[in-house]
Amino acid sequence: MRRTLLLGLLMMLPCSAEREKFAKDKYSIDVPASWKKPEADTGKALLVRQNKEGTGIFAISKMEVKEGAKADLDATTKSLTANYKKDLGLENDPKAESGEVDGLDARFVVVAPPKEKQKADAETPPTMVYLVVIDAKTEVIVMQATLAMPVAKETGEACLSMIQSFKRE
């Protein structure tokens, strides 16, 4: 019920977005007009966009699945979150939730520092990461939002909107 209400509210948000394709035009998302490609090198990411304040980065990458193999979303998600666990001072593994994105099996996980480490330092504000790992059969698509804390409402809504707009072309 809560998820349906949130989705309904997000659909009513006034925002201008551009449909951007990636991975040889196999997939697309809606990117808010104010989110631009960063000037810094984006490495192997398929798509990277940053909000105008510089407090949020949304990136999409993919991992190939070997022919005849099946993606292991749980293992992939655990491996990806392990990379953040030490950096954020987490004692326990973040819990992933199962779901779907555009009819594809997916895992969702929020990786955030414990409450006592969430206070902003003048030099380096704490960050959180929201990961979505999608089984696209021949590849695993990873959507990652890296956000400075506390997360501005508009920034969080923009990231959620991009995730929800994911489509296979």
Name the domain count of the chain: 1
SS (H, E, C) 128-163: EEEEEEEECCCEEEEEEEEEECCCCHHHHHHHHHHH
Measured CA to CA, the distance from residue 105 to residue 107 in angstroms comes to 7
Is the pLDDT score of 11 beyond 90?
no
pLDDT confidence of residue 93:
79
* 86 pLDDT higher than 90: no
Average of per-residue pLDDT across 148-154: 90
Q: State the average pLDDT over residues 123-134.
A: 86
Measured CA to CA, the distance from residue 26 to residue 117 in angstroms comes to: 40
88: containing domain: 2-168
DSSP 100: E
Q: For position 88, which CATH number holds? A: 3.40.1000.10
